[in-house]
């Protein structure tokens, strides 16, 4: 019923608008088309100026209302660089925005049709055109320069001491694999994937490096310690989006990708900083992956080294879960840890 009334009101409003519009044309004919046209011309010129003024106020108001709702300080060292770049760009484009918009609407208002003025025949001016080719070119060179500088810093190789976590997306969840004590990920092959037999990532059990690998559903990382994510997907393209850290990388089936960053604040520090007791870092899927895309959420916990160590030790290796009888935790081959101890976190 309600819908019906809304439709009725809309139709009615439309009918009235249309009748007024039609009548205004008849009135224009009666009053002399030229005169009526000049009047609407003045009205529209005024409205353009009003639109500029109200629009600029709107830009300010919108910023006041929403600036507190964007993310606040970046939670990663690399994210700070991205924010700096964002502000440099904002400053340059902001100036251009205000200058050009004001000129556009001001010119439209100022040079509205008038019997007193003749349009000025001004087909070109090479000097002017060179000026506004060169100035944007310089501004953009600066932006490209800064941009590429930060880009290489962020996408360059991860530091040697970075901890490594493997992230795997699938419809519609995230799984994280830690290399365990040996610091090396065991081999895997997608045809071995078998969630029922506790092998969700297709680990090859005859590879000893696999025996201590841990799979979790939450991403735990250590504050102030670089972390390198090795990203993959089981089915379609997903994307590891870490808005607070300003990081993002696609998860592509068949083509592993990587990204690394250094978290600045633990989850607890963020709770204090934001004054929000429920604060949590979230991992969002940013590449459309099917009907559950909007709910493909992961939780990231940033903690101190001690907290992390306690947590990782409490995790059972996937091998032990897949082989409950044959491989109790104690009998893990100890010799594999020696050769690769460099990669260990402690």
Partner 1 sequence: MSNEANLHGHTEIVTTHEVHHDEHHVHHHKETFITKYIFSQDHKTIGKQFLITGIAWAIIGGLFSVLFRLQLGFPDQTFPILETFFGRYAKGGQIQPEFYYALITMHGTVLVFFVLTAGLSGTFANLLIPLQCGARDMASPFLNMLSYWFFFLASVVMVSSLFVSTGPASGGWTMYPPLSALGDANQGSKLGTDLWLVAMALFVVSSLLGGLNYISTILNMRTKGMSMTRLPLTIWALFFTAILGVLSFPVLLSGFILLLFDRNLGTSFYLSDIFVSQTGQALANEGGSAILYQHLFWFLGHPEVYIIILPSMGIVSEVLAVNSRKPIFGYMAMVGSLFAITILAFLVWAHHMFVTGLNPFLGSIFVLLTLLIAVPSAIKVFNWLTTLWRGNIRFTPATLFSIGFVSLFISGGLTGIFIGNSTIDIHLHDTKFIVAHFHIVMGVASFFGMFAGVYHWFPKMFGRYLNNTLGFIHFWVTIIGAYLIFWPMHYEGLAGVPRRYLDLSGWHNFNHFGELNKMITVVSIIVFAVQLMFIFNFFYSIFKGRKVRHQNPWGATTLEWTTPIRPGHGNWTGEIPEVHRWAYDYGKDGREFIPQTEPIGKGESHH
Cβ closest to partner 1, residue 123 vs residue 160: 123
- Contacts with 211 (C-beta within 8 Å, 6 or more apart), sequence order: 180, 186, 205, 317, 319, 327, 332, 333, 336
Element (DSSP H or E) covering residue 238: strand 238-242
105 binds partner 1 (CB under 8 A): yes
Q: What is the DSSP string of 261-299?
A: E-B-S-HHHHHHHHT-TT--EEEEE-S--STTGGG-EEE
Tokens 């760009």 belong to: 89
Q: How far is CA 59 from CA 66, 173, 269, in A?
A: 11, 39, 33
How far apart CA 280 and CA 302 sit, in angstroms, is: 9
5 binds partner 1 (CB under 8 A): no
Instruction: Out of 8, 9, 10, 204, point to the residue binding partner 1 (CB under 8 A).
Output: 10
Instruction: Out of 184, 223, 247, 302, point to the residue binding partner 1 (CB under 8 A).
Output: 247
Secondary structure class of 300 (helix, strand, coil): strand
Q: The tokens of 82 are what? A: 């991205």
Cβ closest to partner 1, residue 15 vs residue 344: 15
Interaction pattern, residues 208-237, with partner 1; x per rule: CB under 8 A: --------------------------xxxx
255 binds partner 1 (CB under 8 A): yes
Shortest distance in whole angstroms from residue 185 CB to partner 1? 16
Residues numbered 264 to 303 that lie near partner 1 (CB under 8 A) are 278-280, 282, 284-295, 297
81 binds partner 1 (CB under 8 A): yes
Cβ closest to partner 1, residue 36 vs residue 327: 36
Cβ closest to partner 1, residue 182 vs residue 239: 239
- Number of chain positions touching partner 1 (CB under 8 A): 121
Cβ closest to partner 1, residue 159 vs residue 328: 159
20 binds partner 1 (CB under 8 A): yes
Contact indicator for 274, 72 with CB cutoff of 8 Å: yes
Shortest distance in whole angstroms from residue 225 CB to partner 1? 20
Cβ closest to partner 1, residue 142 vs residue 334: 142
Secondary structure class of 298 (helix, strand, coil): strand
Q: The tokens of 333 are what? A: 């081959």
How far apart CA 180 and CA 211 sit, in angstroms, is: 8
Instruction: Out of 35, 156, 160, 346, point to the residue binding partner 1 (CB under 8 A).
Output: 156
140 binds partner 1 (CB under 8 A): yes
Interaction pattern, residues 25-64, with partner 1; x per rule: CB under 8 A: x-----------x--xx--xx-xx--x---x--xx--x--
Q: The tokens of 147 are what? A: 């941009």
Residues numbered 109 to 138 that lie near partner 1 (CB under 8 A) are 111-114, 117-125, 128-129, 132-133, 136-137
14 binds partner 1 (CB under 8 A): yes
Residues numbered 190 to 209 that lie near partner 1 (CB under 8 A) are 190-191, 193, 195-196, 202
Nearest to 82 by CA among 157, 146, 162: 146
Report the chain's C-alpha Rg in angstroms.
Answer: 31
100 binds partner 1 (CB under 8 A): yes
How far apart CA 300 and CA 279 sit, in angstroms, is: 11
Give the residue ranges of DSSP H helices in 162-263: none
Which residue stretch of 95-103, 175-183, 207-215, 332-340 sits at the interface with partner 1 (rule: CB under 8 A)? 95-103
Instruction: Out of 49, 56, 80, 171, point to the residue binding partner 1 (CB under 8 A).
Output: 171
- Contacts with 337 (C-beta within 8 Å, 6 or more apart), sequence order: 181, 182, 183, 344
Contact indicator for 236, 253 with CB cutoff of 8 Å: yes
Cβ closest to partner 1, residue 89 vs residue 198: 89
Q: The tokens of 157 are what? A: 């190789």
């Amino acid at each position: 019923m309600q819908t019906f009334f809304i439709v009725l009101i809309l139709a009615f409003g439309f009918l009235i608008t249309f009748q007024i519009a039609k009548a205004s044309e008849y009135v224009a004919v009666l009053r002399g088309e030229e005169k009526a046209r000049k009047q609407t011309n003045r009205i529209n010129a005024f409205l353009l100026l009003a639109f500029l003024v109200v629009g600029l106020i709107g830009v300010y108001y919108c910023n006041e209302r929403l600036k507190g709702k964007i993310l606040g300080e970046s939670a990663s060292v690399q994210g700070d660089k991205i924010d700096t770049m964002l502000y440099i760009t904002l400053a340059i484009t902001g100036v251009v925005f205000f200058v050009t918009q004001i000129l556009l609407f001001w010119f439209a208002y100022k040079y509205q049709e008038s019997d007193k003025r003749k349009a000025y025949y001004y087909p070109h001016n090479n000097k002017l055109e060179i000026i506004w080719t060169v100035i944007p070119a310089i501004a953009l060179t600066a932006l490209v320069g800064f941009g590429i500088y930060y880009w290489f810093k962020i996408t360059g190789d991860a530091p040697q001491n970075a901890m490594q976590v493997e992230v795997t997306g699938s419809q519609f969840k995230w799984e994280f694999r830690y290399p365990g004590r040996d610091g090396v990920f065991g081999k895997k092959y997608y045809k071995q994937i078998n969630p029922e037999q506790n092998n969700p990532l297709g680990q090859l059990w005859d590879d000893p490096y696999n025996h201590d690998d841990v799979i979790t559903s939450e991403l735990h990382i250590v504050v102030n310690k670089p972390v390198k994510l090795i990203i993959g997907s089981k089915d379609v393209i997903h994307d590891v989006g870490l808005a607070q850290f300003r990081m993002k990388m696609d998860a592509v089936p068949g083509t592993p990708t990587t990204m690394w960053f250094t978290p600045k604040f633990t989850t607890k520090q963020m709770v204090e900083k934001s004054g929000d007791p429920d604060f949590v870092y979230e991992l969002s899927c940013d590449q459309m992956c099917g009907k559950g895309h909007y709910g493909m959420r992961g939780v990231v916990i940033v903690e101190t080294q001690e907290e992390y160590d306690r947590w990782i030790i409490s995790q059972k290796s996937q091998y032990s879960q897949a082989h409950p009888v044959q491989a109790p935790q104690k009998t893990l081959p100890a010799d594999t840890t020696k050769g690769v101890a460099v990669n260990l976190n402690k």
